[in-house]
Structure 1
C-alpha cells in the first residue's frame, strides 16, 4: 500500500490549486452576497477537465478515480471557494450513472458532467424521513401508457435551480406491485416538477430547495439501470459523496489554518507576534494535526473505493467524520486567533463557520456515523 501521489496526481493538484487561486474566497463571497452562481469557476474547472477526472475516458472524462476527484475537490476548497455541486454532480451522479446506468444513460449524461456543461442534483432527503431513508414516501408507479408517474417531495436539495436534471431516490412499484428502492433521472423542466427555496440562516452560493413531484411523467429510460438496479445504484453514490465531502472539509481546514497562521505571524501585540504565545500557537498546531490525519483517512477511503474494496464504506464514513470535525476545529481556532477580526467578512474566515458546521450534519450526521462504527465495526447492539 503506497499513498504517495504519482507525478500525474501531483501535477493535477498543482494545476487545480493554480486555477482556484485566481478566484479565491473573495470571489465566492461576492457571488453569494449577490445571489449569483459560481459560473465562471465551474466553467473553467470543467473546460480544464478537472470536473471529469473520475469519469471514464470513453465518455469524455479523465479516466481516473475517486482519488483524483478528491484532489480536485480539496484544492478548490483550499483556495477558499468550495463548490458544493462537485459533491453532487461529478461525485454522486456520475458515479451512479457510470456504475449502474444503462449504456444510453452513460452516453447521454456523462460527457456533459465531465466537461461541466451539465449539472445533476441529488434528491434523497424528505421532510418526514430525514436520516431514515426507509421512510421515503416519494414513489413511482407504472404508467399504463408507458413510462412512470413520480409523486412526492424532497427537502434540502442543493442546487436544483442550476441543474439540468435531478437524480431522485424513490420507491418504485415494479411489475409485480412490489415497492422497492429505485433512482430516476428527472429533467428539472419536467411538467409537474416544481421547487421553492429554503430560507437559510447563512449566505452560500448554492441554494437549498424543497422539491415537489406532482404526478411527473417519466419515460422508461429515466429509471437508472433498470428495475433490478435498486439499492446497488443508490449505494454507488453514497461513498463518493462522503469522500468528496471529506475532501472539501480538508480543503476548508487548510484554508482556515493558512489564514490563522498568517495572522498569528503578522499580528504584533506588546512588541512581538501573537503566534509566539503557546495559547495562540497550540490550537493552530493541534488543528493542523487533525486536518492532516483527516486527509490521510480521506486518501485511504478514496483508494479503497477505487479498488472496489468492501472496506471502502467504513473508510468513507471515518474520513467524513474526521474531516468535518477537523475543519470545524480549524476554523474555530483561526477565528479565535483573529479575535474580533475573525467575525469580519474582510478577513475571510468567519464566513466559513457555517460551511464547516454544515459538514458535521450533512450528508450524514456525526451521530449516525458513530452509530455505524459502533454497530458494524465494534459489533455493538444497534441503538436505533
Structure 2
C-alpha cells in the first residue's frame, strides 16, 4: 500500500534526530505490517519477531537511562516509537504496558531491581506487566483487597486477585499493587508495589473472553499465598500509590500515542481507498459526504497529537503538574479521535470496511477500549474539572 506519510506530519515539532527515529521505526514496523499483526492476534500468539527487532534496534528502551541499556532519550521518543508502530498497523500494547512498569522501576526501584529487569525490558528479552485493577475496586485503588503479609524471612506473602491484567501469558514478571494485611500504628493499611515472577508458586491466571482482537490477551490473575522475596518490593513499603503515580503520566502519553497511531493508520487506509475507489466515473473521495468527515477526523487527531507531544515534553523537563493536565487531555482527545477516524475509514470502505482483509474492522474494539483504559473518559473529565477548573471533587 502506498505510504501517504500521514504519520510524518510537519505539524509536530521534531528535531532531526527524532525525525530519523520516526522514520526508522516506521520502516521496521512497516516491514511486518498489518497482515502480520492480524495473523498473530488470530492465532492467539504474540508478534515475537517484531518485538524482538524493536528491542534489538534500541527502540523499546529509547527513554530509559543508558546505564541500564536504554537510549537515554525521553518520553517523547517513546511516544514516537509507539505511535509509529500503530501507524503501520501494529499497535503494540506491550510497549504501553512497559512504559509504566519500566518508568516505576527506573524512578523507584532498588539497584538490584534495576539490574535485574531494566536491561531486559529495554532489549525486549523481558516483559513486566502491571496488575492493579480488581473486580470490586475498579478505579478506586484505595479499595483494593489483594494483601501483602510480612513473612518471617523478611519477605511477604501475597493473597488476592486482579482483573484485566494484559499480556501476562507473555510476561516474565508482574508488578502488583497490594495492601498491607495489618493496619499500621495510625490504623491505616497502606499500599506497596511488588515484582512477582510469573513462575512463582501460587501465581496463576485465566484468560478473559473479551472482544479485543489483539496479541496481548486479558487475564484474571490469582495470588494464592505467593511468596515475595525481600528484595522484590519496588521502592518503599507503604508508598505504593505515590510510586504508581510515577508511571501514570507516561502511561497516558503512551495510550494517547497508540490511539493517535491507530487513527493515522485508519485515515491512511481511508484516504487511499477514497482515492482509488471509483463510482460514476470519479473517485468517491471527490464527494464531500466522504471527504469532509475524513478531513475532520484528521484535524482531531492532529490536535490530539500536538497536546500529547506537549505532555511528553513537559514530562521530560520535569514539569509534572503541567504534564498531568496535558497527558489527561491528550489521552481523552486521542481516544475520541481514534474511534472517529476508524469509524469514518470503515464507512468510507462501505461493506469492505467490515472485512478483515482491509485491516480496519478488527481494530474497532481496541480503539473503543482506549476510551476506557488505562483511565476512563469520565475520570479524565473529573481530573480536569477539579484540577484545571477548580471545581469541587466529585468522588
Coarse TM-score class (shorter-chain normalised): over 0.9
User: What is the match of residue 333 of structure 1?
Assistant: 344
Determine whether 1:179 maps to 2:189. yes
User: What is the match of residue 81 of structure 1?
Assistant: 90
User: What is the match of residue 5 of structure 2?
Assistant: none
User: What is the match of residue 212 of structure 1?
Assistant: 222
Q: CA deviation at 1:231?
A: 2.6
Give 1:1-384 correspondences, 5 Å limit.
4-89=13-98, 91-173=99-181, 176=184, 178-227=188-237, 229-309=239-319, 310-384=321-395
* Superposition misfits of 4+ residues, deviation over 6 angstroms: none
The SS at the match of 2:139 is coil
Q: Is the contact between residue 149 and residue 218 of structure 1 (CA under 8 Å) also seen in structure 2?
A: yes
Instruction: Report Cα offsets for 1:301-351 as digits up to 9, x if no partner.
Output: 111111121211111111100100000000011011111000011111112
Q: Is the contact between residue 179 and residue 191 of structure 2 (CA under 8 Å) also seen in structure 1?
A: yes
Give the whole-Å Cα distance in 2 for the aligned partners of 1:107 and 1:202.
34
Q: CA deviation at 1:208?
A: 0.3
CA RMSD, aligned part only? Answer: 1.4
TM-score between the two structures when normalised by the length of structure 2:
0.94
Give the whole-Å Cα distance in 1 for the aligned partners of 2:350 and 2:26.
28
Give the whole-Å Cα distance in 1 for the aligned partners of 2:163 and 2:295.
38
Give the whole-Å Cα distance in 2 for the aligned partners of 1:228 and 1:318.
30
Give the whole-Å Cα distance in 2 for the aligned partners of 1:383 and 1:226.
30
Instruction: Report Cα offsets for 1:131-165 as digits up to 9, x if no partner.
Output: 11111111111112320011110000000000000
Give the whole-Å Cα distance in 1 for the aligned partners of 2:220 and 2:92.
20
Give the whole-Å Cα distance in 1 for the aligned partners of 2:238 and 2:377.
32
Give the whole-Å Cα distance in 2 for the aligned partners of 1:16 and 1:375.
38
TM-score between the two structures when normalised by the length of structure 1:
0.97
Q: Is the contact between residue 171 and residue 180 of structure 1 (CA under 8 Å) also seen in structure 2?
A: yes
Give the whole-Å Cα distance in 1 for the aligned partners of 2:241 and 2:209.
32
Give the whole-Å Cα distance in 2 for the aligned partners of 1:6 and 1:219.
44
Give the whole-Å Cα distance in 2 for the aligned partners of 1:228 and 1:181.
5
Give the whole-Å Cα distance in 2 for the aligned partners of 1:332 and 1:228.
44
Q: Is the contact between residue 193 and residue 213 of structure 1 (CA under 8 Å) also seen in structure 2?
A: yes
Q: CA deviation at 1:173?
A: 4.9
Give the whole-Å Cα distance in 2 for the aligned partners of 1:202 and 1:48.
29
Give the whole-Å Cα distance in 2 for the aligned partners of 1:372 and 1:124.
20
Instruction: Report Cα offsets for 1:95-130 as digits up to 9, x if no partner.
Output: 000001111111111000110000000000000001
The SS at the match of 1:194 is strand
Q: Is the contact between residue 126 and residue 154 of structure 1 (CA under 8 Å) also seen in structure 2?
A: yes
Q: Is the contact between residue 342 and residue 349 of structure 1 (CA under 8 Å) also seen in structure 2?
A: yes
Q: Which runs of 5+ in 1 are unaligned?
A: none
Q: CA deviation at 1:33?
A: 1.0
The SS at the match of 1:52 is coil
The SS at the match of 2:216 is coil
Q: CA deviation at 1:353?
A: 0.9
